[in-house]
Amino acid sequence: MDVPMWIDGEPVETGEWIARENPARPREFAGRAVAGTAQDVERALSAARRAFPAWGQRPLGERVEMVRVAFLDALAEPATIGTTIAAEVGKVRDDAIGEVRYVRQLCEYYAAEAPRLLGPIETEDERGRIRRMHRPFGVVAAITAWNAPVILASLKAIPALMAGNAVVLKPSPLAPLAVTGLLCAVAARLPAGVLQVVHGDAEVGEALVSSSHVDKISFTGGVVAAGHIARSAAARLVPTLFELGGNDAALVLPDASLDEAMVERILFGAYLNSGQVCMAVKRVFVPEQQAEDFVERMRTVAARTLRVGDPQDPASTLGPVITRKDQRRLERLIASAEEAGGVVHRLGTDHIVDEDGYWVHPTLVTGLPDAHSLVCEEQFGPVLPVQTYTTVDEAIERINAVPHALGSSVWSADEEAAVALAPRLRAGFTFINSHNRSGMSLRAPFGGVGISGNGKEFGPEGLASYSYLHVAHTPHERAGGANAYPVLPDDG
């Protein structure tokens, strides 16, 4: 599959090509994308600037309906799009199809909520009338990661467009195919310049975020790229939304049942998409006395459910990792854990199709100090440390001792107690008796703090991120003169 860029209402099919190999069969190509240049980015941004006024002034209901119809039409064949995602990312096909179906639901959710959330709100009391109006920023530069290419791009494009912005999106060069197919189909149904797609690596990304045409930056990816973008945005005081990496802890409390269904949710919370999910479980904390039993239960459930193999095979539940570089990085991480005295348990079964693929066997590691990089850094692979604790206070202190603060989870028979404990965890989200895909909701705003980012995607806040509030105030009491503060009789 070859994909173009989409600039100013038409496909751009000439230029260098970015080839994307299939991580399960690296000698085969999943497809190619036309590589962009700084000039392409500038052309797209100028077109966005021209398109914005008319798009932003369209009646809200009309705009929302245009975006809804365009996305739903373009998402009409989840199986075809899912097959492409599986080929370029290596995630198993059913999971990839689920990603596409989820975007359909996201689109319906935002279309239903947008009129209420983005429409004007008027309040009036004896002091005056206040009208709150949501105004689009203008041109949004969106840059996304590869691990859930369609959902990550849609989480930005759908709300930003519905709010009235023009969007220029750069997907990751590691997964440009499915998302570009989708966005070109959407863009073709919208006025020229309203939605555009450019391709390239960091250099093209930097050209995009540093342009004076950009009014808002929305970024999903790693902390290093976010640092570059933040510096560029700061120079022009452009507002940013950052969705970055995590080192999510699952805190298993002493009263957690650890039945098979719960253990399976922890297992897939960690290993789904071979651990390459921002909100994956990346550390598990279990009470010391239950640790042996916990590891045994994880091994038993994994033997039944974790099957590493061809992502296109319906029997596979895990595919390869994204690049050779990541495969080598994870192998070194596991080797260093063994050298540091960690005990490495291999989980599940292998059904590898091509020895050359970027396979990393799912691995659970016990006996590591918290300071080991496998525990204190984001692994972003199928490698999970199990840490033991003696008191809950001690576990919370150790969980909070890492710089990442994205998600977290609490596992307990007492869900009220688990919710009450959640704010003690330094994170932007806490799943209760679930984690990762099993605990997701379109209605629950997700995002981190600190080096894990700012702001939220999903939920009402995910829509609100793409507009600013413009307020019109009609005071009933209009004071004049030098002492102009209005004072009402009951103000004392």
Residues annotated catalytic, as ranges: 243, 278
The secondary structure of the chain in percent helix, strand, coil, rounded to multiples of 5, reads: 40, 20, 35
Return the residue nearest ligand NAD (CB atom).
Answer: 205
272 binds ligand NAD (CB under 6 A): no
What CA–CA distance (Å, rounded) separates 420 from 124? 37
Cβ contacts of 14 within 8 Å, gap of 6 or more: 34
377 binds ligand NAD (CB under 6 A): no
> Is 263 in contact with 304 (CB distance < 8 Å)?
no
Nearer to ligand NAD, 170 or 372 (CB): 170
DSSP 40-108: HHHHHHHHHHHHHHHHHHS-HHHHHHHHHHHHHHHTS-HHHHHHHHHHHH---HHHHHHHHHHHHHHHH
Phi, psi of 275 (to 5 degrees): 75, 0
DSSP assigned state of 13? -
450 binds ligand NAD (CB under 6 A): no
- Binding-site size for ligand NAD (CB under 6 A) equals 29
The 10 Å Cβ neighbour count of residue 401 is 11
201 binds ligand NAD (CB under 6 A): yes
454 binds ligand NAD (CB under 6 A): no
**Span from 83-91, 141-149, 189-197, 464-472 in contact with ligand NAD (CB under 6 A):** 141-149
Please tell me whether residue 354 adopts helix, strand or coil conformation.
coil
Smallest gap from Cβ 393 to ligand NAD, in A, equals: 28
**Span from 5-13, 131-139, 166-174, 460-468 in contact with ligand NAD (CB under 6 A):** 166-174
Smallest gap from Cβ 34 to ligand NAD, in A, equals: 15
Smallest gap from Cβ 146 to ligand NAD, in A, equals: 5
206 binds ligand NAD (CB under 6 A): yes
β pairing state of 121-125 and 431-432: unpaired
228 binds ligand NAD (CB under 6 A): yes
78 binds ligand NAD (CB under 6 A): no
222 binds ligand NAD (CB under 6 A): yes
Nearer to ligand NAD, 68 or 199 (CB): 199
113 binds ligand NAD (CB under 6 A): no
Packing angle, helices 60-74 and 177-187, rounded to 10: 140
163 binds ligand NAD (CB under 6 A): no
Which residue among 52, 55, 102, 146 contacts ligand NAD (CB under 6 A)?
Answer: 146
